[in-house]
Amino acid sequence: MALGPRLDLRQSQSLVMTPQLQQAIKLLALSNLELETYIADEIEKNPLLDTGDLSTEGQGDEAGDGGSDNTADLSPEPGTQGSDEILTSGPGEAESALDMEGDADQFSNNSLSESDGALDGGLGLNGSSASSSGAIGGEAPDFENMLVAETTLSEYLMEQAGAILSGVDLFIAQHLIDQIDECGYLQADLLELSHRLGVQLDDVYRVLTEVQTLEPVGVGARDLAECLALQAKEADRYDPAMARLIDNLDLLAKGALPQLKRICGVDDEDLRDMIAEIRAYDPKPGCKIGGGDVQAVVPDIFIAERGGKWIIEINSATLPKVLVNRTYYTELKNGAQDKASKDWLNDCLADASWLIKALDQRQRTIIKVATEIVKQQEKFFRDGVTHLRPLTLKNVADKIDMHESTVSRVTSNKYLSCSRGTFEMKYFFTSGIQSSTGGEAASAEAVKSHIKSLIDNEDPKKILSDDKLVVLLRAKGFDIARRTVAKYREALGLGSSVQRRRQKALEGRAA
């Protein structure tokens, strides 16, 4: 058979990641605060995008804050696109869906307490598609710029060193202070430092002694024992017995009190006083100064119970209201003469319309997933963590007719606030422990809660071993192995029975 070139025409299907599809997928995974930054970047790139309040909508602008009605039912309406379909529709469809006149009533911003609609189904869940339409018109005060710059630990120490040192000593002190971490410990090799600076090692040790006299007490230490010793010296409690105790912190951690008494040459009462003294010292003195700003978790979803019904609302305070500026579009369209300018303007309009559509669908998808989580974990919201059920991403995806990867993106980096606190949405997806009685499986988090409760309430004279915990848990209906109990106990930061026995004995003697 002769070989030769030929042309064939074949037809095939493939999924193409268009820029719009990539954008929609990216928006799902962003938290509200990350989305705010993303929208700000898009507004800078697209002149047709703008932020505003509800009063501008009557002038022809289109709202795209992520939800068209705070009290809309989440169940799919006939003829509307599903949560996954929006990811495959093109920018032209998004533009046509938004190219309509919107009245002020359509974009109402009801508060959490005003939402009283309920989903069909016996749980009384409210599908309040609470969106970001409650953004404040105009720019809010920038409170971050009002904060006074906090003094760092390095700056605080240099101010003190400058008052007592000068010349070469101050030069050495500056390099030593630069090597002190945020906890106050010196992370430098003194011999290497002396070679690098070209000074005598004795001078480095002498300056370090001066640095260790600075506030806060204990700063500049090279290890925990030296840190505690510096604080004991400042309190005039560094006698030979205290020095031996600080030199044997490993024995103190093990609870070897008889051995410590022999080493320190003290009786029970003196040892108890010394231990209480050490506990009063700060093992991380540098954290008193600076330490950086603590970032509070901002919830993306609010859940509350009103009259036996669950109200689910998007946190609109962190989302700006996005509009398509039709007035500006008309002005630019009338001024555009060449084809390239008109094409660029049409692309900007299509991108802006698609972004608004994607934001709207993002909020609806988040509400839909959160609603199903509340349905599945209603006992948790009512009765606490011990009633948390096993739940997987696939369970939720099957219930709401979405892909599992979509649910994973929706629950990533997002937090849910309810009467029991603020939880990451991933928290509600846990593995299950089979029931010893053949009943419903229990969540791993619920089992951890029971283990912590048993250990917290154990008798100091009868410490519960892992085997005993297995017996008690099986009596509560949890079919769990000893190695699993040990794994959960370690995950909770709880020591073994031997470690807890020593700890409680130490606490009893120090009390």
Over residues 15-62, the pLDDT tens digits come to 777 777 777 888 888 887 788 888 888 888 888 888 765 344 433 344
Helix-strand-coil percent breakdown of the chain, rounded to 5? 50, 10, 40
N- to C-terminal Cα distance for the chain? 97
Order of strands, sheet of 62-63, starting from the edge strand that comes earlier in the sequence = 49-51, 322-324, 62-63
Helix and strand counts by DSSP (H, E) for the chain: 21, 10
CB 65 within 8 A of CB 131: yes
Over residues 201-210, the pLDDT tens digits come to 999 899 999 9
**Two tokens, residue 166:** 């000068």
How far apart are the C-alpha atoms of 451 and 472, rounded to whole Å?
Answer: 9
Q: Using alpha carbons only, give the angle 263, 268, 273 rounded to the nearest 5 degrees.
A: 95
Q: Which DSSP helix (H) or strand (E) runs through 442?
A: strand 442-443
Distance of CA 427 to the CA centre of its chain: 11
Over residues 220-265, the pLDDT tens digits come to 999 999 999 999 888 888 888 889 999 988 888 877 888 888 898 8
**Two tokens, residue 368:** 């839909």
How far apart are the C-alpha atoms of 502 and 221, rounded to whole Å?
Answer: 29
Over residues 334-377, the pLDDT tens digits come to 776 788 888 888 888 888 888 888 888 888 899 999 999 999 88
What's the half-sphere exposure (Cβ side, CA atoms, 13 Å) at 152? 8
Model pTM? 0.55
Which residues touch 168 (CB under 8 Å, ≥6 apart)? 199, 203
Using alpha carbons, select from 39, 20, 42 the residue that is nearest to residue 30: 39
How many Å is the maximal CA-CA distance in the chain?
103
Residue 116, pLDDT above cutoff 50:
no
